[in-house]
């Protein structure tokens, strides 16, 4: 995706403005993904029901806090590189390449199934961004590596609820959040 903000007038010392612009462009969509994730985590925090309500409700707030920090770090890295972070909801919705989270009020395990898929999308895209910026800017690469460590840990927290004692995930093979939610509720095919 080309961005109107991709060519900064200046960037950090040691990078070309073209290289800085490319990194800003990649971070732009990672910022949207992190802002979207923090809102989605709060949405689940508010809409989760059922016998496992409190465990999931309380598990999610530290994830929200950390993901908000990641969004802040990402936006400020964009600014340091000479870019313009897009922090408003309209820009996020206009530029994102994925759909809104699709589950409303639902049982804890259904939300966790859908959230597993959300994390898979964010982590895959973060890894692709990491590979891209790693060719240009090791400092941004380091930022994304640090973020991935937390994101992958959070996905493990979610997946531990979906895993059988044999080590299989109930959401394996699910392609949509709805499918993942249903598979999680049924315990998958173990
Ligand atoms: Fe709350």
> Within a domain: residue 2?
no
> Within a domain: residue 38?
yes
Q: What is the pTM of this model?
A: 0.94
> Within a domain: residue 6?
no
pLDDT at 28: 97
CB 132 within 8 A of CB 25: no
85 CA → ligand 1 middle, Å: 27
Number of domains in the chain: 1
> Within a domain: residue 151?
yes
Please report, in angstroms and rounded to a whole number, the separation of the first and last CA atoms in the chain.
40
> Within a domain: residue 1?
no
129 CA → ligand 1 middle, Å: 31
**How confident is the model over 24-36, as a mean pLDDT?**
98
Tell me which residue range forms the domain holding 36. Answer: 17-186
Q: How many CB atoms lie within 10 A of CB 89?
A: 10
Question: Binning pLDDT at 50, 70 and 90, where does residue 4 land?
Answer: low
**How confident is the model over 128-152, as a mean pLDDT?**
98
Question: Binning pLDDT at 50, 70 and 90, where does residue 1 land?
Answer: very low
Decide which of 59 and 6 is more confident. Answer: 59
CB 155 within 8 A of CB 95: no
190 CA → ligand 1 middle, Å: 34
CATH classification at residue 118:
1.20.1260.10
Question: Binning pLDDT at 50, 70 and 90, where does residue 112 land?
Answer: very high
> Within a domain: residue 10?
no
- The DSSP 8-state label assigned to residue 88 in this structure reads S
133 CA → ligand 1 middle, Å: 35
140 CA → ligand 1 middle, Å: 32
pLDDT by residue (tens digit) across 145-175? 999 999 999 999 999 999 999 999 999 999 9
Is residue 176 predicted with pLDDT exceeding 90? yes
Is residue 2 predicted with pLDDT exceeding 70? no
The percentage of the chain sitting over the pLDDT mark of 90, rounded to a whole number, equals 94
β partners of residue 48: 106
Is residue 127 predicted with pLDDT exceeding 80? yes
45 CA → ligand 1 middle, Å: 7
46 CA → ligand 1 middle, Å: 7
74 CA → ligand 1 middle, Å: 24
181 CA → ligand 1 middle, Å: 22
**Alpha-carbon gap, residue 2 to 29, rounded angstroms:** 11
Angle at 156 between CA 127 and CA 113, to 5 degrees: 95
> Within a domain: residue 7?
no
**How confident is the model over 27-50, as a mean pLDDT?**
98
118 CA → ligand 1 middle, Å: 20
> Within a domain: residue 144?
yes
């Amino acid at each position: 995706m080309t961005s109107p903000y991709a060519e900064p007038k200046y960037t950090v010392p040691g990078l070309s403005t073209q290289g800085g612009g490319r990194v800003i462009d990649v971070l732009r969509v990672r910022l949207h993904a992190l802002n979207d994730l923090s809102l989605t985590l709060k949405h689940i925090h508010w809409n989760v029901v059922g016998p496992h309500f409190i465990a999931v409700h309380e598990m999610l707030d530290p994830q929200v806090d950390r993901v908000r920090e990641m969004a802040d770090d990402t936006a400020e890295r964009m600014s340091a590189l000479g870019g313009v972070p897009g922090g408003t909801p309209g820009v996020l919705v206009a530029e994102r390449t994925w759909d809104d989270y699709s589950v409303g009020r639902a049982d804890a395990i259904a939300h966790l199934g859908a959230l597993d898929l959300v994390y898979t999308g964010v982590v895959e895209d973060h890894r692709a961004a990491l590979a891209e910026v790693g060719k240009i800017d090791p400092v941004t690469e380091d930022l994304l590596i640090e973020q991935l460590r937390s994101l992958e840990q959070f996905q493990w927290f979610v997946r531990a609820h979906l895993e059988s004692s044999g080590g299989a995930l109930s959401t394996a093979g699910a392609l949509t959040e709805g499918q993942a939610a249903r598979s999680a509720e049924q315990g998958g095919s173990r």
